[in-house]
Amino acid sequence: MRLVIARCQVDYAGRLTAHLPMATRLILIKADGSVSVHADDRAYKPLNWMSPPCTLVEDDGVWTVQSTKTDDSLVIGIEEILHDSSHDLGVDPGLVKDGVEAHLQQLLAENVETFGAGWRLVRREYPTPIGPVDLLCRDEAGTTVAVEVKRRGEIDGVEQLSRYLELLDRDPQLSPVRGVFAAQEIRPQARTLANDRGISCVTVDYDALRGVDDPSERLF
């Protein structure tokens, strides 16, 4: 990893064109070949960058970064270098994440009564030709219900569920099939579209559900 602090101007041409006037910035060159130009704000997002695979050519105050795959390019005009150091970091062992949506789906599968008393789970990840339905249930009346689980409910999710419902409803073993759109929060537009298509919306309290499920969080 190479860290360069320099007065520089930058021009990017590719999916869009962008220009950075002359100023002092950090140029971060990683071992993966990537180059990014940072100001002292915008959190971790650089002003300009080039993702690998790309090549960096340093030529008399003009650094050119050219993408290998596309015709994207980054031209950095260097006026003055204030700092330049390289460091061997080695390979990173990587990070361990514990996600949200997968966990949410699992919690709901274990607590389908969240949707109503008498509900039971038929299958998680119920397969269809266009992909698995998150949860397939039967409600208290025995009607089939396909549940789509999202962390944030947006229009795309309603579309996805609609496609599943159309397919599932063709199966005489399952038909008629209701739809439930479950998410921590549901955007008004998504709710509108869901209602328009006869799909129920359920907002889920993730923390409460986790509290119900996680013994370490139980009060008794």
Partner DNA sequence: ATTTATATGTCGCAA
Partner DNA sequence: TTGCGACGTATAAAT
Where do contacts with a second copy occur on this chain (CB under 8 A)? Answer: 1, 3, 5, 15-21, 23-26, 28, 30-32, 34, 36, 38-49, 51-52, 82-83, 85, 87-100, 129-131, 151, 155-156, 159, 163, 189, 192-193
Interatomic CA distance for residues 23 and 28, integer angstroms? 15
The span from the CA of 186 to the CA of 95, in Å, is 30
Nearest CA among 168, 112, 106 for reference residue 138: 112
Minimum CB distance to a second copy, residue 80 (Å): 13
Least distance (Å) between residue 213 CB and DNA: 18
Q: Within a 10 A sphere around the Cβ of 31, how many other Cβ atoms?
A: 14
Residue entry with tokens 């299958």: 123
Identified binder of DNA from the candidate list 79, 84, 140, 156, rule CB under 7 A: 156
Contact code string over 18-47 relative to DNA, x by CB under 7 A: x-----------------------xx-xx-
- For residue 1, the 8-state DSSP code is -
Q: Least Å distance between CB 141 and a second copy?
A: 30
* Burial status of residue 86 (CB atoms within 10 A of its CB: 0-12, 13-18, 19 or more): exposed
The candidate with the shortest Cα–Cα distance to 24, out of 44, 41, 49, 45, is 41
Among 4, 6, 8, 12, binds DNA (CB under 7 A): 12
Residues near DNA (CB under 7 A) are 12, 14-16, 18, 42-43, 45-46, 48-51, 67, 69, 72, 74, 97, 99-102, 125, 127, 130-132, 134, 150-152, 154-157, 160, 187-189
